[in-house]
Chain A
Amino acid sequence: MSEPAIRVENLGKKYRLRHQQEGLRYKTLREALTRAPQRWLARRSGAGSLPSASEDFWALRDVSFEIPQGQAVGIVGRNGAGKSTLLKLLSRITQPTTGRIDIEGRIASLLEVGTGFHPELTGRENIYLNGAILGMTRAEIKSRFDEIVAFSEVEKFLDTPVKHFSSGMYMRLAFAVAAHLEPEILIVDEVLAVGDMEFQKKCLGKMEDVSKGGRTVLFVSHNMDAILRLCSRAIHLSKGGVVEVGTAQSVVAQYLASHKAQPAKVVFPANPADQMSRRNLVLLSAEWPDSPAFPPWTIPFGEEISFFITFECHQPVHAAELGLALYAPTGTEIASTSSVATLPDIRLAPGIHGFQVTYRSFKLVPNHYNFSLGLKSNFGMEDYLSKSFSLDVIQSAQSSATKADTFLGYVVPEVHYVLV
């Protein structure tokens, strides 16, 4: 069928932001009753209207796109870009302010697993209840019941109220029900961000099956790896609008690129939010050595990574130590090091000091990485900056020759293979 599975035209959603009054989150009857006469009096005395207690905010504006049948499409964007709002509109939870959506086919949305689970009910009862909430009929649930139970691995506890379940069992059961939905269009929000690694893998595998099974999938995630693995195309949202629609690779690359523009010398903020009081050592900057070939903080695969960290010492200290942690774009910490391994007892006098940091024979797969760093002394933790500068590893002749470009991991260790 040539008809697109989802067509969105000029979609917009406006929220009214209420200015927090007296710390109230909700509209109250008392407020409504007291404001009405005030407003009436103000109008009568010709003083114009009262200052508005609310303000409009467009969570989504003029969004248009089409999703062809049978494609898995990822939606990427920073927090607040409008991803969740878009999913809520597509799943009919809330109504658009402008525009229209046409959906061709049976649609199911999974904005959360385990919606409607009741702690007092047993596993068995919750499977039926949750299935019905997700839009399955009783006959459908019945026919898939055994599969659901097998997938969840909680057979033994089927007749136990879920309040006695461990959180892992609870999540497994909840996902098992959701995984056995069989709509033509599936909308999934970040449900994979829960559970242990083992379980996440299983979920991702199931999602892969779904998208390969020819169904249309719309998938929102902050996990770029998952988007690349599951989706062929992607949509980049920013500030409520569409920035780019294209292949998953290009959209993800462009999305990650939109995060940076980092100068050679990254001067750390003088007064970061998570500042600790009474510090003897304060981090000042990270500096990338000049290189004519590449932009700062950009390095081809396989080359030695080297930069400077500068800091200031206010009081004499000993046992000074610099720690660095490296993060994958998904936020996973992948490599941590400390100066204490090579310089066990550094004594410092007040003044400006620096470290030259060099990662030797450390091959990172082409990607966008972030660094966190911290300073310690004999007084304990002195300074810490979370993900304060980043590094781009780009493809090189070596990476394409060794296939490193296509690796799903982040680090390429030196491994000897011997055919015996």
Chain B
Amino acid sequence: MTRTRLTIEAGKAEQHYWADLWRYRELFYFLSWRDLLVRYKQTVIGVLWAVLRPVLTTAVFVFVFGRLAKMPSEGVPYPVLVFAAMLPWQFFASALTEASGSLVANANMISKIYFPRLIIPASAIIVAFGDFLISLGILAVLMVCYHIVPTWHLLLLIPLTGVALLAAFGASLWLAALNVEYRDFRYVLPFIVQFGLYLSPVGFSSSIVPEKWRLLYSLNPMVGVIDGFRWAITGTESLIYWPGFGVSLLLMVLIALSGLWYFRKTERAFADVI
């Protein structure tokens, strides 16, 4: 066995943090597995919920924005337009919700065992990712129903999913850490999610936003992700606005980096305040 030497010094950040993160990868795997298992254990309810939530929300949005408000859809069937946006949005929203409460929910583990705390919100995001995969199945059904022939663009869903993960991860780090620090932060979260749903182009195409405002609109990182998803799924070029996508992506990276910084900064005191 290799000798391991560990030095803990006051005021110094963990020297082995990233190495530890790698060493604890199995814990990450097990925690994700636990959360997924628990979520889908009552199989019927777990999976049904994952199917019903995006489908029902989509139905309402199609009715309100498509039928009543008669929003333009660039020739794409309205349900597909909405569902393509619902995919990343639902993932983002549930990742945010799951992750922000995850540290407090695992307070017991945090106060009794050492491990890189990053693992906890990360594994919470994996659970949301499970629902996302189920939604992808629904999308396939929807595409068949509306005779949408996928183009090579569909392959772009893979990197775009990575982008969605990045967005969810960055925001989750902020919220999870803030939630430990300020216990009433959880009351703010539903507002963020609710506002986000209407501020993001979920029920409508972002092309209805006037050209001069589009760059500003793209300051909401989810705009870029949603546009990207729509473009990849339908192959309709006019759905994506590249400068905006760039701004969104840049912002996401910034949020993720700052989230990581804030998380690492507060992480050391988690066990003391949780």
Chain A interface residues (CB < 8 Å from chain B): 12, 15, 26-30, 32, 88-89, 91-107, 109, 111-112, 115-116, 118, 120-121, 125, 128-129, 132-135, 137-138
Q: How many A-B residue pairs have CB under 8 A?
A: 113
Interchain CB contact under 8 A, B8 and A92: yes
Contact among B5, B31, B109, B181 with A27 in the assembled complex (CB-CB below 8 Å): B181
Closest 7 CB pairs of A and B: A26-B183, A92-B114, A29-B182, A132-B30, A101-B8, A100-B9, A103-B6
Most buried by A among B27, B106, B111: B27
* Residue of B whose beta carbon sits closest to that of A119: B38
B10: CB under 8 A from chain A? yes
Check B34 against A115 for contact (C-beta < 8 Å): no
Contacting pair B109 A133 (CB below 8 A): yes
Docked-complex contact B38 and A93, CB < 8 angstroms:
no
What are 8 A-B interface contacts by the 8 Å CB criterion? A28-B182, A29-B178, A95-B10, A100-B8, A107-B6, A129-B33, A135-B115, A138-B26
A115 CA to B170 CA, complexed, in Å: 28
A128-B182 contact in complex given A88-B271, A98-B10, C-beta closer than 8 Å = no
B7 in contact (CB, < 8 A): yes
Q: Which of B4, B8, B106, B181 contacts A105 (CB 8 A)?
A: B4
B93: min CB distance to chain A, Å: 21
Contacts of B188 in A (CB 8 A): 29
**B113 and A109 contact, CB distance less than 8 A:** yes
Bound-state Cα–Cα, A118 to B123, Å: 15
Nearest A-chain residue to B9, judged by Cβ: A100
Question: Contact at B111–A93, with CB atoms within 8 Å?
Answer: yes
Report A253 CB to chain B, min CB distance, Å.
32
Residues in B whose Cβ lies below 8 Å from that of A132: 26-27, 29-31
Q: Mark out the residues of chain B between 167 and 189 whose CB falls within 8 Å of any chain A CB in the assembled complex.
A: 178, 181-185, 188
A94 cross-chain contacts in B, Cβ below 8 A = 268-269, 271-272
Instruction: Determine whether the beta carbon of A125 is less than 8 Å from that of B37.
Output: yes
Q: How large is the interface on B (under 10, 10 to 19, 20 to 34, 35 or more residues)?
A: 35 or more
Q: Are B10 and A12 in contact (CB under 8 A)?
A: yes
- Identify the closest chain B residue to A125 (Cβ): B37
Q: Write out the residue numbers on chain B whose beta carbons fall within 8 Å of the beta carbon of A115.
A: 108-109, 112-113
Residues of the B chain whose Cβ atoms lie less than 8 Å from the Cβ of A128: 30
Q: Are B26 and A121 in contact, with the CB atoms below 8 A?
A: no
Closest Cβ neighbor of A107 among chain B residues: B6
Contacts of A103 in B (CB 8 A): 5-8
CA distance A102 to B15 in the complex (A): 13
Residues of A within 8 A of B111 (CB): 93
Which of B137-165 touch A at CB < 8 Å? none
Q: How far is the CA of A89 from the CA of B10 in the complex (A)?
A: 10
- Decide if B1 is an interface residue (CB 8 Å cutoff): yes
CB of A112 within 8 A of CB of B112, answer yes
Tell me the smallest distance from the CB of B15 to a CB of chain A, in Å.
12
Q: B184–A96 contact, CB under 8 A?
A: no
Cβ-defined contact, A100 with B38, below 8 A? no
B272 neighbours in A (Cβ, 8 Å)? 15, 94
Given A12-B10, A103-B5, A111-B112, A133:B271 Cβ within 8 A? no
Knowing that A95-B269, A100-B8, A133-B30 are A-B contacts, what are 5 other residue pairs whose CB atoms are under 8 Å apart, sorted by A's residue number?
A96-B9, A102-B6, A116-B108, A118-B38, A120-B41
- B3: Cβ under 8 A from any A Cβ: yes
Chain A residues positioned under 8 Å from B178 (CB to CB): 29
Contact of B268 among A30, A95, A101, A129 (CB under 8 A): A95
Q: With a CB–CB cut-off of 8 A, which chain B residues contact A26?
A: 182-183, 273
Contacts of B108 in A (CB 8 A): 115-116
Q: Mark each residue of chain B from 20 to 33: 1 if its CB lies under 8 Å from any CB of chain A, else 0.
A: 00000011011101
Rounded to whole angstroms, the CA-CA distance of A125 and B217 in the bound complex is 47
Q: How far is the CA of A27 from the CA of B185 in the complex (A)?
A: 10
A96–B182 contact, CB under 8 A?
A: no
CB-CB under 8 A from B109, the residues of chain A are 115-116, 133
Residues B271 and A29 in contact, CB atoms below 8 Å apart = no
Which residues of A lie under 8 Å from residue B112 when comparing CB positions? 93, 111-112, 115
Q: Contact at B27–A133, with CB atoms within 8 Å?
A: yes
| Minimal beta-carbon separation of B267 from chain A (angstroms) | 9
Query: Which residues on the A side are within 8 Å of B41 (C-beta)?
Result: 120
Q: Which residue of A lies closest to B114 (CB)?
A: A92
Q: What's the minimum C-beta distance from B12 to chain A, rounded to whole angstroms?
A: 9
Chain A nearest Cβ from B274, distance in angstroms? 9
Contact of B26 among A111, A116, A137 (CB under 8 A): A137
Closest-CB distance, A38 to chain B (whole angstroms): 17
Q: How far is the CB of A194 from chain B (nearest CB, A)?
A: 14
User: Could you say which residues of chain B place their CB within 8 Å of the CB of A106?
Assistant: 1, 4
The smallest C-beta distance from B60 to any residue of chain A, in angstroms, reads: 31
For B33, list chain A residues within 8 Å (CB). 129
Give the distance in Å from the alpha carbon of A109 to the alpha carbon of B6 in the complex.
Answer: 14
Docked pose: A127 CA to B41 CA in angstroms: 18
Most chain A CB inside 10 Å of its own CB: which residue of B3, B30, B31: B30
B34 touches A118 (CB 8 A): yes
In the assembled complex, the Cα of A12 lies from the Cα of B10 at a distance in Å of 9
| Shortest Cβ gap from A135 to chain B (Å) | 8
Query: Which chain A residues border B271 with CB–CB below 8 Å?
Result: 88, 93-94
In the complex, what's the smallest C-beta–C-beta distance from A95 to chain B, in angstroms?
A: 5
Q: Considering the complex, give the chain A residue whose CB is closest to the CB of B272.
A: A94
Complex Cα distance A101/B7, Å? 6
The answer to whether B38 touches A102, judged by C-beta atoms less than 8 angstroms apart, is: no
Shortest beta-carbon distance from B161 to chain A in Å:
27
Chain B 2-60 residues near chain A, CB threshold 8 A: 3-10, 14, 26-27, 29-31, 33-34, 37-38, 41
CA distance A331 to B30 in the complex (A): 40
Contact of B7 among A100, A121, A138 (CB under 8 A): A100
The answer on a CB contact under 8 Å between A129 and B10 is no
Is A96's CB under 8 angstroms from B26's CB?
no
Asked if B34 and A129 make an inter-chain contact with CB atoms under 8 angstroms apart, the answer reads yes
**Alpha-carbon distance A94/B182, docked complex (angstroms):** 19
User: Please, which residue of chain B has its CB at the minimum distance from the CB of A88?
Assistant: B271
CB distance from A203 to the nearest CB of B (A): 18
- What's the Cα separation between A125 and B271 when bound, in Å? 26
